Amino acid sequence: PLYYVAHTPSFRREKTSAGRDVRGIKRVHQFEKVEMYKFTSPETSYQELESLTEAAADVCRALKLQFRRLEIVTGDLGFSASKKYDLEVWSPGCKEWLEVSSCSNTETFQARRANVKYRPAEGKKAQFVHTLNGSALADTRVIIAVLENYQQADGSVVIPEVLRPYMGGAEVITKA
């Protein structure tokens, strides 16, 4: 298999009723994310989907955020996906689960359009690869979950241990 990642600015229009839940950073029209992408053989694509989803789940675990993994029913799958998982983190302030990752196996759907093939063995006929994609985590919603889950009664925020090396060793963010 071939594994790729890319940092992507994303633009999306959230589906909400007029004026409902559209303020703040929970439902933004632009956000940043790391996109994960895999080219795999048909024989390993569903195992690779599990590992792709686990890579995103590992970030939630490292941040010690309560999260859940949902397998999307076939009636709710997009046009291209054969199987899809969503990861959601708990937001105590919003009192709801926020989707932070979506990982899909599109089998040969994208490969056929791009004519991406591999040769399973010397002398064998070339076959279409299976393509998988997933967002590592949507940044704004993870920030919400971290702030809401780590905020203290005095308004300070305990920095998750895994982030401290990137915060100059700081352990707490306090009000200025």
Which of left, alpha, beta for 21 (phi over 0: left; psi -120 to 50: alpha)?
A: left
Q: How many CA atoms lie within 13 A of 43 on its CB side?
A: 4
Among 96, 131, 125, 87, which Cα is nearest to 112's?
Answer: 131
- Is position 12 annotated as part of the catalytic site? yes
- Is position 23 annotated as part of the catalytic site? no
- Is position 99 annotated as part of the catalytic site? yes
Choose, from 27, 101, 104, 135, the residue flagged as catalytic: 27
Q: In which element (H, E) is residue 46 found?
A: helix 45-62
Among 76, 87, 25, 28, which Cα is nearest to 54's?
Answer: 87
- Is position 20 annotated as part of the catalytic site? no
Provide the residue count of the chain. 176
Cα end-to-end distance, the chain, whole Å: 49
Choose, from 45, 135, 141, 148, the residue flagged as catalytic: 141
Choose, from 45, 91, 102, 135, the residue flagged as catalytic: 102
CB atoms near residue 19 (< 10 Å): 7
- Is position 41 annotated as part of the catalytic site? no
Query: Residue 163 and residue 158: Cα distance in Å, rounded?
Result: 10
Per the listing, tokens 């915060």 go with 167
Choose, from 71, 99, 161, 171, the residue flagged as catalytic: 99
Query: Which residues are tagged catalytic?
Result: 12, 27, 99, 102, 141
